[in-house]
Chain A
C-alpha cells in the first residue's frame, strides 16, 4: 500500500480515497484524538489484569506472561476506562500536553 500523509499531492491519492489492500485499520493512528492521557504508575501496579480487557481499543499491550506494559499512544484515545477500573490508583489521567 502506498504511504500517504497530509502533504501527499492530489495526483498521488487514489480516487475516492479507495484503499486497494485489506487489513489496514492499524495504519490509521487514532491517538491524536486524545485530550486526556493515562499515566501508568508502574510501582503501584500489581499486574492484576483488570485494565487491559476494558480498553475499547488495544492500547494496553500485554506480554506472553500476561503482564501489561506501557500504553500504546498511537491508538489510546484517553477515554479513562482503565483508570476507573484500576483498584490500586496505578493509572492517573492527565491533561494531554501538560507535564
Chain B
C-alpha cells in the first residue's frame, strides 16, 4: 500500500536513497541539489541507514569516491548539479567505461556562465555522450520512481552502466507536491541485494580495474559500452513493467499524452511536460488536435520508437532547454530529427530553445508553439527551423 505524502523533488530523491540504503554516498553541496546530501546526511546521523557518507572536498572527488566504492563492490550513489557535474566530467567517463553501476541524482541547472543557479538542461546535455543512462523526470513522483528503478537497471548483467536520474532544479527539486511513497520493505525487496560478479574487495579474486587500454583495445571496449546501452532498452522495459506491477505507475521510454490522434505535437523533457499537458487539454477543448511526447529515457535514445510515435503527425516542435550554440539545432532536436530521417519518416519539424537559465515557460508560450505548428501543418513548410521561445528580441 502506497503512502500519501507531500514532498519536494529533493526530499523525494533523498527518501528514495534512504530506502535503497546504499553502501556509500559521496557528495559535495551545490545548488539546487544540495538538499539531497543534506537530508541524506541527516539519515546517516540518525542511524536510519547503514551508509558510509563521504563529505568530499569537490565534485571531482565525489565522483572519484563513488567510483572507488563501486569498484570495491559497494552500491554507491551521489547527487549534483550544473558546475558540480562539470567538475566531475573527467570521472563521469571513467565511471561508465569501468562499467560501474553508480546511480546519481542530477538536479538540472544551467552551467555557468554568466553565473546562474536556475534550471535548464545544459548540465545534462554536456554529458549526453558520456555513456550514462539518463532518465528524465517530470515531477517529484517521477524523480522518486526513477530512482527506485535505477539500480535494477544499472546493475543488470547485460547493462552494468551508471544511471543519472534528472529532474528540473527548483521547479521540481524545491516545489512541494503530492507524492505516493512505497513502504521501506517493499522498496528493499524491489531494489534487491547487490551482488557484483567481480569487485576489488574480493580477497579470493584479486583483480585489476582500469588498466591501460591503447590502440589495440579501446575501440572494442567502447563498442561494448554501446552494446550495453542497446541492451539497456530491454532491461529498462522489463524493470518498468515490474515497477508497474508493484505500484500501478506506468513508465515507458517516453510518455504519449493524447498523441495517438493528435495532428500537432510537442516533444520535451522534465517539468515542461506538465505545463504542456495543461495546454494540450485546453487546446483540445478548442478543437486543436494537440499532443505531447515526453521523453523519459534520453540515453539510450529510443530513436526507432520515437520515429514511429511521431510519424502520423502533421507538424512537430522539439523543445530544447539547452542551446547547443552550434548554429543548428539543440541536442534533443538533433536526436529526434535524426531518428526520423534514419527511420524514413518525414514530418515538418521545428526546434524551440526555451527556458534558458530558469526563464519561466508559460502556458501562453506553449500555446503559441502549438499555433505555429497548426500553421506549419497547413502550409507543410518550415521557413525557420531554429527558433527561440520566450527570448527578448527587438524588432529589426
Contacts and interface: CB of A to CB of B under 8 A. Distances in A.
Whether A associates with B in a native complex is yes
Nearest to A15: B99
14 contacts: A4-B217, A6-B217, A9-B220, A10-B221, A10-B223, A16-B98, A16-B209, A16-B210, A17-B211, A17-B213, A19-B207, A20-B198, A22-B208, A24-B208
Given A6-B216, A13-B217, A18 B209 contact: yes
A10 B225 CA distance: 11
Give chain B's interface residue range (CB within 8 Å of chain A).
Answer: 20 to 34
Nearest to B94: A16
B224 interface: yes
B160 interface: yes
Given A6-B216, A13-B217, A18 B224 contact: no
B185 interface: no
B205 A20 contact: yes
- Kindly state the interface size class of chain A when it binds its partner: 10 to 19
Contacts of A8: 220
Contact of B198 (A6, A18, A24, A28): A18
Contacts of B210: 16-17
A5 B220 CA distance: 12
- Of B198, B206, B213, B220, which is in contact with the most chain A CB atoms at under 10 Å from its CB? B220
A10 B224 contact: yes
Contact of B99 (A6, A9, A16, A19): A16
A18 B228 CA distance: 16
Contacts of B209: 16, 18
Main secondary structure of the interface of B (DSSP, over half): loop
Task: Name, among A6, A18, A19, A21, the residue most crowded by chain B CB atoms within 10 Å (CB to CB).
Answer: A18
Interface in A1-46: 4-6, 8-10, 13, 15-22, 24, 28
B296 to A, nearest CB: 26
Contacts of A13: 217, 220-221, 224
B97 interface: yes
A16 B97 contact: yes
Interface string B353-370: 000000000000000000
B265 to A, nearest CB: 39
A19 B213 CA distance: 12
A5 B207 CA distance: 19
Interface in B75-125: 97-99
Contacts of B223: 10
A15 B205 CA distance: 16
Contact of B207 (A4, A9, A10, A21): A21
A5 B228 CA distance: 23
Contacts of A4: 217
A15 B206 contact: no
Contacts of B217: 4, 6, 13, 17
6 residue pairs, one from A and one from B, having the closest CB atoms: A22-B206, A10-B220, A6-B216, A19-B208, A15-B99, A16-B98
A95 to B, nearest CB: 23
A5 to B, nearest CB: 8
A16 B208 CA distance: 10
A49 B198 CA distance: 45
Contacts of A5: 216
Contacts of B216: 5-6
A10 to B, nearest CB: 4
Contact of B160 (A9, A15, A20, A24): A15
A19 B206 CA distance: 9
Contacts of A15: 99, 160, 221, 224, 228
A87 B98 CA distance: 49
A20 B211 CA distance: 11
Given A13-B221, A15-B99, A16-B221, A21 B206 contact: yes
Contact of B211 (A6, A19, A22): A19
Interface in A51-99: none
A9 B223 CA distance: 11
Given A13-B224, A15-B99, A19-B207, 17 more contacts: A6-B216, A10-B221, A15-B160, A15-B224, A16-B97, A16-B98, A16-B210, A17-B210, A18-B98, A18-B207, A19-B208, A20-B205, A20-B207, A21-B206, A21-B207, A22-B206, A24-B208
A28 B213 CA distance: 12
A6 B213 CA distance: 11
